[in-house]
Chain A
Amino acid sequence: MLIGNIGALALRALFAVTALSIVAHVAAIWTTHSLWRRLSRVAMTVQFVFVAVASAALLYLLITTNLNYSYVVDYTSRGLPLVYRVAAFWGGDAGSLLFWSLVLTLYGMVVALSRHEDSERMLPVVSLLVTVVTLFYTIVMNVGANPFNRLAHAAAVGNGLNPLLQNPGMTVHPVNVYLGYIGFTIPFAYAVTGLLLNKTDATWLRVTRRWTLVSWLFLGIGIIYGAHWSYEELGWGGYWAWDPVENAALLPWLTATAFLHSSIVQERKGMLKAWNVVLITLTYFLSLLGTYLVRSGVLWSIHAFANGFLGIYYLVFMAVILVFTVTLIILRWPSLRAERQFEAVVAKESAFMLNNVLFLGATFAILWGTVFPLVSEATTGHQLMVSAPFYNAVNLPLAVCIILLMAIGPFVAWRRSSLANVMKSIWMPFVLAVVLGLATTLWLRAMYTAPTVLATSGVIAAYFAILTVVFEYVQSVRARMVLTGEGWFVCLMRLLNRNRRRFGGYIVHLALAIIALGIVGSGSYHIQKQQVMSVGDTATIGVYQAKFVGMGVSQGLHGETRTMYANLVITKNGQTIGVLRPSATFYENGNSPTTNVALFSRPLRDLYVVMLGTASNNEAIFDLHINPMVQFIWYGGYLFILGTLVSLWPERKPALRRAELGVVVDNLYEDLADLEYDHRMGKVDGADYEQQKLELEQRIALSEQDRQARRERMERELKEEVRRLGHGSTTGGASS
């Protein structure tokens, strides 16, 4: 009881804490006094401490199954394994809000305690923005959904957690999605801070690059893991249903991917400034929209939603964020001008722009489909909805284009390139990709079903992307070996070490291409068969034979469940591989039975068997699927994590301050280095290289002259000033 009271009290007190924090942040911004700045930092820590106390209290109540609290009663029961009592923390509406606040205040504290360029000026504003968001959740928790609501009488038993959710996935998937969603608050807060302070250089991008990448990584893991969970647990043979809740997680991930690419253009070239602000705002807004859709119940989804009373809070909050940010962007529009112009149509800058358009196109299509029931009802009075065919029809061609661009993009030089040059570097991987892609398609056709044009182009594009990454690695390593005379392994390691961002990014490209292969394989060549079998019957699907040899029943640990299973002996080419045991679990407490999938996974195909039911005379009905290459999706997922981690790993040298306003010369030197690299990699041919180099060198010489002249003038003026002052002070000294 005491612990519960402490938690409830901490949550109430959080109101006062956030309100006082806001005072401290505002004071720190207005007075720029160091005492207030320190207080502003401390305030962020205090917020975290209060939320942590409340969270610890709720966890204690859940673990000890204190049935006086309605939240505990709703989501746990006495027999529930410890890990799911802990998972109940984020399993329900009120608890997940507390978990949300915990992560948000933790992020806020870490940010407030950091130091970076211009942090004295930026941090109080960032802290203020994060605190306002925290205040919003504090209000929702205290007014709308309090996890510490007491029941008048203690309940006799808890409701427990739905058996389908009692899966290790429950501990991994929601947490990752939350960590991702919440993380976008930080880059968004920095972007707004930049606008408020009228500081439109790339500082905010450099400071928040890791925040964006980490959030993007968590959200990506959450999405892939969620797909995997659904595949292994739900027994429908697929992993992605274009359900509104799935879409809600994918939308901010897509815009964040676009943002990660376009931020490179701003950091290196000082272009696309307004665009980046818009993208991160959109990402944050879509993460809010996702939460709103999940919790408001405005859309029908296969995921059951909450009752909907929280929806209005989110709606108001989203409206405030949107109006505020859009106004700010409009007001600051003039200072968001690019530092330089596009120089050529074929250049890395425009390749990045095309990337952004494709990603935003996919985002728009998915968003449109998701809110289509709402839009159509508002405009025509009839609710219309779209389903998987719509999403596939739009997104699969776009995905093929994105993968093609992913293959070509790295070979396009910055500033100015030409189609001929690009062709020269990509023709070999492309021809190889076509050969490999057609061979794979023929093989898949022989094994499974007829191919479609889209599937074939998807396979070719994926191979193309894989091969270009391999080529890029091989060429870079070779170039280094020639220069340094070291072995290939040393060169590879040095290369990764020296340019983690670039080569980590390429690993992510490789991962996505492998995932694409998995999606094409399992999506286009999937075969399925439903068969009623008596004991002794054999079903044949693809290369496998499954012989039904009998059924059995096993008791659960505490007698609360009974599991009925079937034994299927699997053979391939006459050789016995093993026994698959699909089953169904029945619950004593009246929950409807659940099916358990039996999987035989091999890198090239999964045999996926579900027992749909039983009939009289020892017959059972089986649903058999072969999902070719579906494992590639999960392998790609691991590689995706690895690539992002390589890219995240801190570089020893602090990054060059490339896009500082007015640092023209540094930018030019950077261009020269790029040109050198591109030339060595064969992306720019000899004549073009000489010409561009000459041009750049002339511009550098001019800028250097300019810089020198300015320095001399400033020195002269300074000397003058000192002389004058010195003169003045001596007279002043004499007079006193």
Chain B
Amino acid sequence: MSTRAKLMVALVVVVGVIGMLVRTAVTHASTYYVTVNEFFQESPATQHDPTTISGEIIGSSINWNPTSGLLKFNVQDKTGGKALTVVYHGAKPDDFTDNWPVIVTGMLQSDGSFHASKLLIKCPSKYQAQNQAANAAS
């Protein structure tokens, strides 16, 4: 076998291993990514799969119990529609206010609440003018 052929074989093997790594990781670690309204339109079976949902916080629904570290709040689409109750065990992030966009990852429980294992808050970035944030807070 020529040096070139040997090298090609080695390369193909390495690339193949990396490809397999990506493939298994994708199947294990991917979740559906939907908005609140899209989530409600899904079939009940799919609803109980691990899902990532984006929506906006409804300020009046925030219920934070510091002693137990339990955070309960409702999320809704920007355009309105049905609200979903989210239960999250962990710290309440900064900037947790009304209309603030949020991503939650977790699973729907039989009681109709969504248990989030992960909670992401859009961090205020340099590219967003402050007045949008100020409007959101008021």
Spell out A's residues near B (CB within 8 Å).
74-75, 90-93, 96, 159-162, 164-165, 170, 174, 234-236, 245, 294-295, 300-306, 341-345, 350, 353-354, 357-358, 361, 364-365, 368-369, 372-373, 376, 382-387, 389-390, 393-394, 397-398, 530, 532, 589-595, 610, 612-615, 619, 621, 623
Contacts and interface: CB of A to CB of B under 8 A. Distances in A.
Q: Which of B24, B30, B118 has the most CB of A within 10 A?
A: B30
B125 interface: yes
Given A394-B25, A621-B69, A384 B32 contact: yes
B138 A92 contact: no
A392 B7 CA distance: 28
25 contacts: A74-B130, A91-B126, A92-B127, A161-B130, A162-B133, A301-B122, A303-B127, A304-B123, A343-B3, A357-B18, A361-B18, A364-B18, A365-B21, A369-B26, A382-B34, A383-B33, A384-B30, A384-B31, A386-B25, A386-B26, A386-B29, A594-B95, A595-B94, A613-B92, A615-B67
Contact of A342 (B3, B26, B54): B3
A235 B131 contact: no
A301 B101 CA distance: 10
Interface residues of B, number: 55
A365 B64 CA distance: 38
Contact of B30 (A295, A385, A398, A623): A385
B31 A159 contact: no
Given A389-B29, A394-B25, A300 B103 contact: yes
B95 A592 contact: yes
B138 A590 contact: yes
A334 B4 CA distance: 19
B73 interface: no
Contact of A306 (B15, B93, B95, B127): B127
B67 A365 contact: no
Contacts of B32: 382-384
Contact of B129 (A75, A353, A373, A398): A75
Contacts, number: 183
B127 A300 contact: no
Q: Which of B64, B90, B94, B120 has the most CB of A within 10 A?
A: B94
B76 interface: no
Nearest to B103: A300
Contact of A302 (B67, B90, B105, B123): B123
A303 B123 contact: yes
B122 A303 contact: yes
B86 to A, nearest CB: 16
Contacts of B137: 590-592
Contact of A303 (B34, B96, B125, B138): B125
A61 B31 CA distance: 47
A302 B121 contact: yes
B127 A305 contact: yes
B66 A613 contact: yes
Q: Which of B11, B105, B130 has the most CB of A within 10 A?
A: B130
B82 interface: no
A592 B97 contact: yes
A92 B129 contact: yes
A93 B129 CA distance: 9
Contacts of B21: 365, 393-394, 397-398
A195 B29 CA distance: 42
A530 B4 CA distance: 58
Nearest to B127: A306
A632 to B, nearest CB: 26
